[in-house]
Each structure stands twice: as structure tokens, then as C-alpha cells.
Amino acid sequence: MSISKFTPDDLRCIDEAYTSLMQVAAKRCKDKTEVETVRKAFKFANQAHKNVRRRSGEPYILHPIAVAEIVVSEIGLGCKSICAALLHDVVEDTAYTVDDIRNLFGDKIATLVDGLTKIKTVLDNEDRKGEAASTESLQAENFKRILLTLNDDVRVVLIKLADRLHNCRTIEYMPEHKRDKILSETMFIFIPLAHRLGLYSVKSEMENIWLRYKEPEDYRRITERIKGNVATRDKDIDTFIAPIEQSLKEAGYKFTIKKRIKTPYSIWYKMRTKQVPFEQIYDLYAVRIIFDPTENNIQTERGQAYLIFSTVTHLYRENLTRRRDWISQPKSNGYEALHCTLMSHSGFWVEVQIRSRRMDDIAEKGIAAHWAYKNDGYISENDSEMDKWLAEVQEILLSDDVSDLELLDIIHKDLLSSEIVVFTPKGEQKAIRGGATALDFAYQIHTEIGNRAIAAKVNMKLVPLSYTLKAGDQVEIITAENARPKMDWISVLHTRYARNRVIEYFRRDFNVIAREGERIFEERVRLMGLQNSHELIRKFQDYTQLRDEDELFFRIGLGLLGPEEFKAIIDEKDLSSGERRKSTTLREDSAVQYKIAECCHPIPGDPVIGFSMSDSLVIVHKKSCPVAESLASKYGNRMVVPRWEAVQQEYPIRISLKGIDRIGLLGDISNFISQTLGINIRKLQLSTDDGLFEGFIELRVRDKRNLERMVDGLSKIDGIQDVVRTDL
């Protein structure tokens, strides 16, 4: 931030932004008193930030105005939240206090501002240099503080998401290392949080900004392809919609139809995870039908959604494998809709989404709209699912046996997890986390059912307790009176609740298990080339936040800290203390050694980020690498911009191929790479099945341009249809 007197142009920009905010805020405020409170909050914030500028050079007050507009327009919050957004930086950045805010605006607005100030304080502290040893706890504490407010007042989190969204919109003015840190935090915790709270538009915009800066070439290419497809297909989509529109009008429905195309990030993510080219993204287009129900009644509304679904699916051929019913069993974030994928007469698939006006509001604005309808007496059956999730988060946050760093990973996984619906033998629906086992299900029913479980029947067939449940499974747990939990169950269980029940059961054998854990600890650290010491044990205790040494050994004895966890703790310890880790290739430039991260294998030309291990050692990751995202969320102050392009070296890569098999194909591939490009193939593996082939090539290249020439050339070989760079 900087100080310089505002110009007439600055004042005009402030006035225009404020006018725009008031136009939307006035519609959301309940009466003139609330409108005046918003005006008062603006005037106060405007005076407090007078002549203060952002890094971009624009007046600072434009930021809180923009946050307030996101809060009302895209999240749907009301007067108090709008005021808190306008005032959210006043206490941190000026001489005013929370008590000043309380005296002027009342307790609730002051409490919201106080919550936002505490979050910002920890964020700012995390950026301080020279505190490497405590950085991870500061960063994790920041997210913990954000999540604690979910139970205090979820509006603090929603305003914070609006603040983060606007910071992402203006991120171009940040230096590169700071920009990467903010975007990594955004992807690791804020985007999953927006998803979990049902804020689709906020989530999607942050994802696209992330992609634009993390993978700029991919973003540019996908965006250009989208524009080309829209220009080509726009009339075809209108032709597809016309019969639907006519049929619904004839049936007497009041509705609107919107056209939508997949976002650049969602296309990129699908291309990456499914390893398919742009041409194979079949759900590129979507049509959304939003209807007004004839009565404000949940059952009537849902019945009409199914009738519309029936009308639409009679007009076109449906892909039954892609049918989704989120009305009979809404998602845990409140999302309700019917989805079907239909073949247009022009020969391409179109996803059709059917929502009522209420469902659409909740889908776009999430928890805020959900609770607004609830307060209006329009109660959804899904209320208990959101309340249950908030209670689970609270249980994790208040747990004494979870370190802040472990908490960060637990919450990250929880936010990303999906739910499936399974059935009891009597047909009762039960929602459980995706990936859960039959044993998780047993403990969800009752602790004693879990403790005495010996097997399960899924869809009338006998399965082991380790069986991973699938959506729609009917599950029966078989128990025995003399059965008891087994220690290896901990590795089978997927839900935290069930794992905790098993841990508590084995506390009766605490001393025996702790002594075995101590023996395992000594053996593992010896095999890792380390010397057992009080200092090493203390570092494990610091990481796990277990004050009692015996409790640490107890958990090791139970298998809660296995070999992979040991390696992770040692690696985290090395990163936070600046020690060197073993492994991977080394290269040197200007007295700085660069290690290439084995998780993502970046090459020169890739967007990359580095993590400083010491004054002379940097680990280099792709910017979009999930491991790098996690590290950046914990050790943001160690992020650096690598300067390694000048050093000549070859890097390992893998290219995956698919296509139509023919005689001589293998020779053509080999000749192109070795003779035309002069590159030695390390490994080439192709398999054929019924006239089709797929496989991969492993080789070494100098940089991304070298790789792109290869991909382009391989794509032109007769028979090859897909050429994709994939992870080793």
C-alpha cells in the first residue's frame, strides 16, 4: 500500500463503484434503515482509507467496495455482511479498533469485522521472513481460524471468500512468488471450501484464474478452442433447444432456458485426469432449464422437475450412464437438480440440467441461499446434512490429537470428498463418504455394530469388511457376539469417526502397544539413516502435537504413523528447517543447485515454482503440481522463482498414445523420434486390442519446445489419434 492524494479521476472511480454497489445493495436491504447503515459504513471506510492506494495504484477503497458487491451479488448476503465487507480492512490497516466499529455499527457487524481481522492478521504474519521454523504453524493456524468461524458465524467465511476472489481478480499486480503463493492457497483450501459451501460461481471463477496463471499456455489454447466451438455450435444449440422450449410451453410451464459451456478449468482438469484430448470432452455443452413451480411446496416442485425431465428425455436419445438425480438425494452442499445427457440431431452430446428457481439460487449462491429459503419456511430435507458436516468440522478442530498441519490435510481431503448413497437391508437411505468401506458403514450405524462386525453382505453377496462401497449398494453387516476389533482395521477405515472408535477400543492395551511402537520407531529411524535421539522424538511430537511421548509410540504401535507418514514427517521437517533431502537429479546455476521434483518432473518451458531448502538448494515443481500446492499452503515464505532455463540438460518425460493399429506403425513412431528428432527412446510400450492400440513412450528432452515438436509430429503419423503428455 502507498499514500498519495486522490486525483479527480480517482474520486470519479470511487463514486462509480459506490453507485454500482448501492444499486444491488438496496435491493437486498430490508428497509431504508439498512440502506442508510450501508451508506454509513461506506463513508466511514472511505474516510479511513483516504488517499491510500493498492499495489496496482488504484484507490484502496475500491477493494472493499468490490468485496461488498461480490458479497451481495454473487453470494446473496444482506446488510450486516455488506457493511462488514466494506469495513473488513479498517481495523487491521488504520488506527480504528473493533470497539470503534461496535460503537458505530453494533455488536454483530463488529463481530464479523473482528473475525475477518483475525484471519488477515495471521495471513500477514505468515509473510514475515526469518521465521521458517514456525511458518507452517502460522499458515495452518490461519486456516484453522477460518474454519472455526464456520460454527461461530459462517458469514465470516463467506466474506473471506469474497475477499479472496477479488484478490485473485487483481493478482496480476503481485510479484510472481507472491502470486503463486496466493493461488496455491486458493486451490488448496479456498476453492474446495467454496465448493463445499455450494458457491459455484465463486469456485469456478477462482479455478479459471488459477489456471490462467499456473498453466497459461493450456489456458490460452483451451480458451481459443472454446471460442471456436461456440462460434460453430451456437446455432446447433439453438436448434436443440427449440423443441424443448415448444414442448414445455405447450405443457404450461413458466421457465427460462440458459446455454452454458464447460469452463476452461473444468475442461483442463478433465483432459488431465482422464488423459483425453479436447475433442473427447463430450459434456462440453449444457442447457439449463430453470422453472417456477406452480406452488411453493417442496413435493410439488420436485414432482414438476420429474415431469419436465420426462418431457425432455422423450425428445432425444439419452445416455443413461450419465443420468444424475440430485433431487431424491441432494448433495451435502445443498445442490439439487436433475441431469441427463442427450444426443442432438446434429450429432453431439448436450447435458441438460433441470432446476427450480429455488434450486438454481442454491446452486449458484450456496449456503446463503439455502438458509434464506430455510428462514422463509421453505425447508429442504438436506438441512441436516449441512448441519452434520459443520458438526464434524467442529469435532476435528477441537480435537487434541490433531496437529495444525495434519488438520490442514484432513480438512483439505474432507472438502474435496464426495458422498454416495447406500441402503440398509430395509431400504433406508444412508449417505456416506465416497471411498468408505463396509466397516466404515458398520461404525456409522453404531459403535457396537462396528466392534462386533465380522463380514458384510452387499447386494446379497458376501464381501469382506474392507469392501469399498459404491453408490446404490444395499449393505448388511454380519456380527458375532464374541468378535472384537483388529488393529489392522485402522488401515481399512476411511472415515475419521470410525478410526477414532477403533483407537479408543485399543486404549485398554495402551502400555503394550506403546512399547511395541517404541521398538518400531527405533527400527524405522535406523533404516532411514537417522540416529534416534530426544531431539528427533521431540520433532515427531511437534509435528503430531502430542505432548506425551508414550502417546506418540502408542499411535505408531497402532499403525497410525506408518512408513509413508514417517517419510512425510522427515520431509516436512527438512523443508521447515532448511535441511537437504535426498533424491532426484541435481543441476547447478549461479551457485544454486536445482532438484527436479519427482512428483511432477518439470522441464524448461513449463510454468514452475521453487521451494528453497537452503541458501544453495531449490526444489523445482510444476506450478500446477498438487504436491506443490500443498507445500505452498504450508511453507509460502520458502517459495522462489527458479532461474534455471540457461542450463542445458535432458529431462525424462512420458507421452501416451492411442489410435488405430496398422502394420508398420511401431516403425514409423520409432523412426520419427530417433531419426527425425535425433532423440533416444528409453522405453516404448504399445498394446493392441481388436484393431485399436494404446501405450506410451518414455524419453528425455531438453525443453518444452522440444516436447511440443514431438507431440505435433506424432499426431501427424497415420493411425495415431491421441497424443498426450502424462506423468511418469
- CATH number of the structural domain spanning residue 722: 3.30.70.260
Nearest 5°: CA angle at 368, between 262 and 410?
75
283: exposed, middle or buried (Cβ count in 10 Å: 0-12, 13-18, 19+): middle
- Average pLDDT per consecutive 10 residues, the chain (728 residues; last block may be shorter): 87 96 93 95 95 92 96 90 95 91 94 84 46 45 67 81 94 88 86 84 94 94 89 88 96 93 92 82 87 87 94 93 84 84 90 93 77 58 57 65 61 69 85 89 94 94 94 92 92 86 91 93 85 81 77 88 74 48 44 80 86 78 86 76 69 89 89 81 88 90 86 91 82
| Three-state secondary structure call for residue 430 | strand
The pLDDT value given to residue 38:
96
Number of domains in the chain: 6
Asked if 520 and 622 sit in the same domain, the reply is no
Say if 494 falls within a structural domain: no
How far apart CA 348 and CA 70 sit, in angstroms, is: 36
Q: Would you say 467 and 438 are in contact if contact means Cβ atoms under 8 Å apart?
A: yes
Asked if 459 and 536 sit in the same domain, the reply is no
Say if 203 falls within a structural domain: no
How far apart CA 408 and CA 714 sit, in angstroms, is: 43
Q: What is the CATH number of the domain that holds 76?
A: 1.10.3210.10
Say if 497 falls within a structural domain: no
The pLDDT value given to residue 471:
82
Asked if 371 and 408 sit in the same domain, the reply is no
Q: Which of 92, 409, 708, 722 is catalytic?
A: 92
Q: Can 92 be counted among the known catalytic residues?
A: yes
Q: Which of 34, 74, 89, 93 is catalytic?
A: 93
> What DSSP element (H or E) covers 681?
strand 681-689
Tell which phi-psi region holds residue 467, choosing left (phi > 0), alpha (psi between -120 and 50) or beta: beta
How far apart CA 698 and CA 51 sit, in angstroms, is: 58
pTM of the model: 0.75
378: exposed, middle or buried (Cβ count in 10 Å: 0-12, 13-18, 19+): middle
Asked if 255 and 158 sit in the same domain, the reply is no
CB under 8 Å to 177, separation ≥6 — which residues? 609, 639, 640, 641
Say if 211 falls within a structural domain: no
How far apart CA 610 and CA 643 sit, in angstroms, is: 9
Asked if 377 and 516 sit in the same domain, the reply is no
The three state secondary structure string of 194-261 is: HHHCCCHHHHHHHHHHHHHHHCHHHHHHHHHHHHHHHHHHHHHHHHHHHHHHHHHHHCCCEEEEEEEE
Compute CA 135 distance to the chain's CA centroid, rounded to the nearest angstrom: 22
The pLDDT value given to residue 243:
96
Residue type, position 377, single letter:
G
How far apart CA 64 and CA 265 sit, in angstroms, is: 27
Give the structural domain span for 710. Answer: 651-726
Asked if 35 and 137 sit in the same domain, the reply is yes
Asked if 375 and 397 sit in the same domain, the reply is no
CB under 8 Å to 386, separation ≥6 — which residues? 332, 333, 334, 367, 370
Q: Can 114 be counted among the known catalytic residues?
A: no
Say if 227 falls within a structural domain: yes
Say if 450 falls within a structural domain: yes
The pLDDT value given to residue 399:
63
The pLDDT value given to residue 587:
44
Asked if 274 and 342 sit in the same domain, the reply is yes
Q: Would you say 439 and 449 are in contact if contact means Cβ atoms under 8 Å apart?
A: no
Domain limit, last residue, from 381, 406, 431: 381
